[in-house]
Amino acid sequence: MSLDDAQPLPAPSVPAALGDRSLFPDLRWAVYANHAAISPPSQAVRAAVAGALDAYAHHGVGAFPACHAQRLRLKARLASLFGGAPTDYGLVLNTSAGLNAIAGSFPWTAGDRVVVFEGEFPTNVTPWQQAAAAFDLTLQALPLSPLEAPGGADLGPLEAALRTGVRLVALSAVQFQTGLRAPIEAIATLCHAHGALLCVDGIQACGVVPFHAPSVDFLAVGGHKWLMGPEGAGFVYVHPDHVGRLVPRQAGWLSHEDAVDFLFEPGRLRYNKPIRRQADFLEGGAPNTLGYAGLEAAVMALAHIGIPSIFEHVNTWLDGLAPTLDALGFQSQRHPDRARRSGILAALPPAGLTANAIAEGLAAHGVAVTTPDGRVRFSPHWPNPLSEVAQVADAVTQVVRALRG
């Protein structure tokens, strides 16, 4: 028996379409504008998870080859959607797991400098703090404000830091607080010109913002936001120029070459097999089979619609809401340049009101939003119909008027 000959689990059908909520019949919110937090699973995702569970219920360990083949197919779909080769992708639990794996496997030298940014979600700071403590690195935090410049991102402070010698820069493609989309390709070019590598947290970008993974050196993405998969199912991308340089400090029994052959052929048990020189050596052990089955169904929907089309749809939805927020006194933090926008419209509340009070009021109207760091954050996705905009605008207006008394 060989895993190479296994047939994957059947791929679910994906009748996804922009503005069509029919794949979410059990979603109880009238308007779910909270995909930057956690996306609800579609019927296709739920069916894929149930199918993987049923396979194990019916066949026990006999389901492993089909599920293994399904995960290989998922990597091929990720490569088709975001670029690179399937072997450039490894499946991990979430963004934190991916960034920790990269930080822990990087070939550090004591004294290396790492640049992070103030105001980032902790996922893209904590792993580098831990790596700095473990490998005697120097961590430098730069402000995000230069990247927000209305006339174009000011990369001067980053370049000044790079000139002093930096080994790696860690940055989110999209900021969770404001929705600011970084000029990743320009930043990668600048880093490479100064001998630094770029590691990107892509969880607030991939699935809603067109993103080309080979433009960066490392990428980590959780699947439960804009990819619309289950929690605990994400991926890493490692540029092929760098995978051979990673040190397999984090590896498991499935990280070896020919890792499973001893299960099927006598006399093949070895402990000295080399670690694979591709991104999936970071996977290590038994995977989240159910989660990755669901993630594949979610990725298929994104591919079916097309991420550029999703980006335009989401921003048309947000464009429709923005004038109401402005008129009510919200301070939008959405960038004026469309190329710097994402799927998020975040706004500071009107004077005298709090984001939490507004979110609670919207919840009473059936509208789901979140309030990161005191902002009201709207984040629709491909299932959100444009007809919702008037409903949300009316709800926000009523909430603000009620709070003002």
pLDDT in tens, 269-295: 988 898 888 999 999 888 999 999 999
The CATH code of the domain that includes 253 is: 3.40.640.10
For residues 334 and 289, membership in a common domain is answered with: no
Residue 106 is predicted with a pLDDT of 97
* Cα 185–chain centre separation: 17
In this prediction, residue 254 carries a pLDDT of 86
- What is the residue type of 54? D
Over residues 317-339, mean pLDDT = 97
Helix ranges restricted to H, 123-205: 126-135, 156-163, 184-193
Q: What pLDDT was estimated at residue 151?
A: 78
What is d(CA 112, CA 131) in angstroms, rounded to the nearest whole number? 11
Same domain? For 140 and 260 the reply is yes
Average pLDDT over residues 244-248: 93
Residue 219, pLDDT score: 98
Cβ burial of 118 (10 Å; 0-12, 13-18, 19+) is exposed
Q: What is the pLDDT of residue 253?
A: 87
Q: Which of 303, 328, 363 is the last residue of a domain?
A: 303
What is the spatial distance between Cα 383 and Cα 225, in angstroms, rounded to a whole number? 13
Residue 250 has pLDDT above 90, yes or no: no
Q: Within 13 Å of residue 80, how many CA atoms lie on the same side as its CB? A: 13
- Flag whether 191 is in a domain: yes
What is the distance, to the nearest Å, from the Cα of residue 188 to the centroid of all Cα atoms in its chain? 18
Say if residues 296 and 11 touch (Cβ distance below 8 Å). Answer: yes
User: Structure tokens of 393?
Assistant: 């605008």
Mean pLDDT of the 36-62 span? 96
* Same domain membership, residue 380 and residue 282: no
Residue 236 phi, psi (nearest 5): -120, 150
Whether 280 and 298 map to the same domain: the answer is: yes
Rounded to an integer, what distance in angstroms lies between the CA atom of residue 130 and that of residue 136?
10
Provide the percentage of residues in the chain whose pLDDT is more than 70: 99
Residue 116's pLDDT is: 98
What is the arithmetic mean of pLDDT over 242-269?
89
Residue 90 placed within a domain: yes
pLDDT at 194 over 90: yes
Task: Give 194's contacts (C-beta < 8 A, 6+ positions apart).
Answer: 159, 162, 163, 166
What mean pLDDT do residues 46-59 have? 96
pTM: 0.95
pLDDT band at 15 (very low <50, low <70, confident <90, very high): confident
The answer on pLDDT for 401 being more than 60 is yes
Same domain, 75 and 103: yes
Task: Transcribe 300-369 into DSSP letters.
Answer: HHHHHH-HHHHHHHHHHHHHHHHHHHHHHT-EE---SSGGG--S-EEEEPPTT--HHHHHHHHHHTTEE-
Whether 82 contacts 108, CB under 8 Å: no
Instruction: Measure the CA–CA gap between 25 and 278, rounded to whole angstroms.
Output: 40
* Same domain membership, residue 363 and residue 255: no
The number of domains in the chain is: 2
- Please indicate, yes or no, if residue 24 is contained in any of the structural domains: no
pLDDT at 41 over 90: yes
- Tell me what the mean pLDDT of segment 69-81 comes to: 97
User: Is 90 exceeded by the pLDDT of residue 405?
Assistant: no
Compute the distance between CA of residue 199 and CA of residue 98 in angstroms, rounded to an integer: 11
pLDDT at 1 over 60: no
Following DSSP, what letter does each residue of 241-290 receive, concatenated? HHHTTS--SS--GGGBTTTTGGGTSTT---S-PPBPSSGGGGT-S---HH
On whether both 333 and 248 belong to a single domain, the answer is no
Q: Evaluate whether residue 55 is within a structural domain.
A: no
Per-residue pLDDT band for 2 (boundaries 50, 70, 90) equals low
Same domain, 154 and 293: yes
Q: Do both 180 and 294 map to the same domain?
A: yes
Q: If you average pLDDT over residues 166-195, what whole number do you get?
A: 97
Same domain (yes/no): 285, 376: no
Structure tokens at 44: 């296709």
Domain-ending residue, one of 303, 335, 361: 303
Q: What is the β-pairing status of strands 89-92 and 331-332?
A: unpaired
183 shares its domain with 298 = yes
pLDDT of res. 4 = 65
Q: Give the mean model confidence (pLDDT) for residues 362-370.
A: 98
Decide if 22 is inside a domain: no
Q: Per the domain annotation, does 48 fall within a domain?
A: no
pLDDT value of position 375: 98
Look at 268 and 2; give whichever has higher pLDDT.
268
* HSE-CB of 162 using CA atoms within 13 angstroms: 20
Distance between CA 252 and CA 194 in Å, rounded? 34
User: Does residue 184 form part of some domain?
Assistant: yes
Confidence of residue 261 (pLDDT cuts 50, 70, 90): confident
pLDDT, mean of residues 300-306 = 97
pLDDT recorded at residue 14? 74
User: CATH number for the domain including 318?
Assistant: 3.90.1150.10
Question: Which residues form the domain of 346?
Answer: 307-404
The Cα–Cα gap between 172 and 95 comes to 11
- Order across the sheet with 345-348: list the strands: 331-332, 345-348, 376-378
Give the mean model confidence (pLDDT) for residues 314-328.
Answer: 98
Domain boundary pick from 303, 333, 368: 303
So what's the pLDDT on residue 262?
Answer: 87
For the chain, the straight-line distance linking the first and the last C-alpha, in angstroms and rounded, comes to: 72
Same domain, 173 and 282: yes
Q: Confidence band (pLDDT; 50, 70, 90) for 258?
A: confident
Does residue 260 sit within a domain?
A: yes
Cα distance between residue 85 and residue 75, in whole Å:
8
